[in-house]
Amino acid sequence: MKTVHDPIHGGIAVDGVFLDLLNRHEMQRLRSIKQLGLSCLVFPGANHTRFEHSLGTFCLAGRMCAAMGLSAEDSDAVRAAAMLHDICHPPFSHTMEPLLGAATGCDHMELSRRLIMGDIPSFLPRDEKALDGCEPIGAILKDAGIDPGFVCDLIMKPLSDTGGLDAFADVKGQSYFPSKDYAHQIIHGPVDADQMDYLMRDAHYTGVNHGAIDIERILAKMRAANGQAVLERGAVSAAEGLMVSRSLMYSAVYYHKTVKIVEAMLRRAAELSGADLSSLYLMGDHDLLSQLLSAPGRPSELASMVLRRDLFKKAYIAYTVDIGEGDREMLSGYATPGGRRMLEERIADAAGADARDVIVDMPSKSVLLSKVRIGKTDVPILDGGRIRSVTRYSSVAKALQAREPVDWAVMVSAPRGCAEAVGAAAARVLSFDHSDGA
């Protein structure tokens, strides 16, 4: 057994097959991928990595399994999934996910399944001499008595959809939940190990004081009931704290405007490079930067600008509070890569600018249309013999479900020299009553 010292969870014990997994080259790659991508250009301390987060998620998942009284078999599978859940994240984390999806037709979770099962390469050609013949992770899991298929199922988003918790039957009644749905929810759920670790870890390293979560109270009151991971009623205040942390971290860190601009600049460099991006899941941050810096023309210029923190300026922004439902519907039509490119070209034409120098960013279509992801915020509360939504007990939780995670609907950025013209053009093209060219 090894003890790994972690600034968030203290000493994390790792042994057996989990130590073997931790030392795999696929896991070690995560040391070179920043957890928050390029957020370190705004929050200088945000240099922590996906490796640390994966280790922390493994730690919390193990504690959750113990609190819920899971069997050794289920616990081992859940902990393996927790450790491996980000194993195919591309460089700079979520920054490059859209390009990885476009290049492979898969998100990082589906790629993780294929990697674990040995269906896709697990290393770059440069490492062939050292790693050729290396057995897939799935074989290691199987040798340890852990079902690799079950682990992959846990890494994927759960198939079940409760559709809200307002009308749950008695716990003693017939369950309509899939078997072992609670295991999925330790990885993907309203109170899961993944989000609790990243909220605390990201708050710690950014210095933003929004990551306070009462982990001990949550673990003390966590149960498996009716096939569901639930909290007893005595943990309502802790559930509120988790929801507050999640809401504030999204608005203060994950959707920070400057962070979104610098992420978009690096994506634009990768798009313009014309490089084959299907192996992004095997690369580290430095690999991608090196590739972009060696590309001719605009891609290397953009990558150099990012490294110098010579960033595009916010040319135009429309805030959600200032636009109507019709405007949201109109914007949602552009909320795809192709839609954004079309809008960028229209704005560039109106401004007399190069379309490569106009970047449009907006939240997802579901966020624009205020379609709340209930499954991620509807914490199930066990009260006597019934399971109900936390919103039955907390007006704070109900308000947080309705709170939008981002306060802006569309943002346009451009190089300093043409930002004013691009901002004016964006205001004409989008025809909103409100604009902010600051």
The H-or-E segment that residue 183 falls in is helix 181-187
The H-or-E segment that residue 317 falls in is strand 313-319
Per-residue pLDDT of 302-321, as tens digits, reads 999 999 999 999 999 999 88
pLDDT at 169: 39
What pTM was computed for the model? Answer: 0.92
Tokens 């994950």, located at residue: 254
By percentage, how much of the chain surpasses pLDDT 90?
79
pLDDT at 378: 85
Note the residue count of the chain.
438
Asked if residue 438 has pLDDT above 50, the reply is: no
Per-residue pLDDT of 352-392, as tens digits, reads 999 999 999 998 877 777 654 545 678 999 998 899 999 99
What are the residues whose beta carbons fall under 8 Å from the beta carbon of 405, sequence distance 6 or more?
Answer: 247, 250, 251, 254, 255, 363, 367
Per-residue pLDDT of 210-243, as tens digits, reads 878 999 999 999 999 988 899 999 999 999 999 9
Q: How far is CA 38 from CA 11, 26, 349, in A?
A: 28, 22, 30
Asked if residue 282 has pLDDT above 70, the reply is: yes
Q: Kindly tell me the burial class for residue 96, based on how many C-beta atoms sit within 10 Å of its own C-beta (0-12, 13-18, 19 or more).
A: buried
For 180-266, strand residue ranges (E) read 222-225, 228-232
More confident residue, 183 or 435: 183
Q: The dihedral of CA 296, 298, 299, 300: what is its sign?
A: positive
Q: Report yes or no: 211 and 8 within 8 Å, Cβ to Cβ.
A: no
Tokens 């379309």, located at residue: 355
Nearest alpha carbon to residue 102 among 262, 304, 340: 340
Q: How far apart are CA 233 and CA 229, in angstroms?
A: 13
Could you please state the CATH topology (level 3) that the domain comprising 2-255+375-402 is classified under. Hypothetical protein af1432 (1.10.3210)
Q: Report yes or no: 70 and 263 within 8 Å, Cβ to Cβ.
A: no
More confident residue, 346 or 372: 346
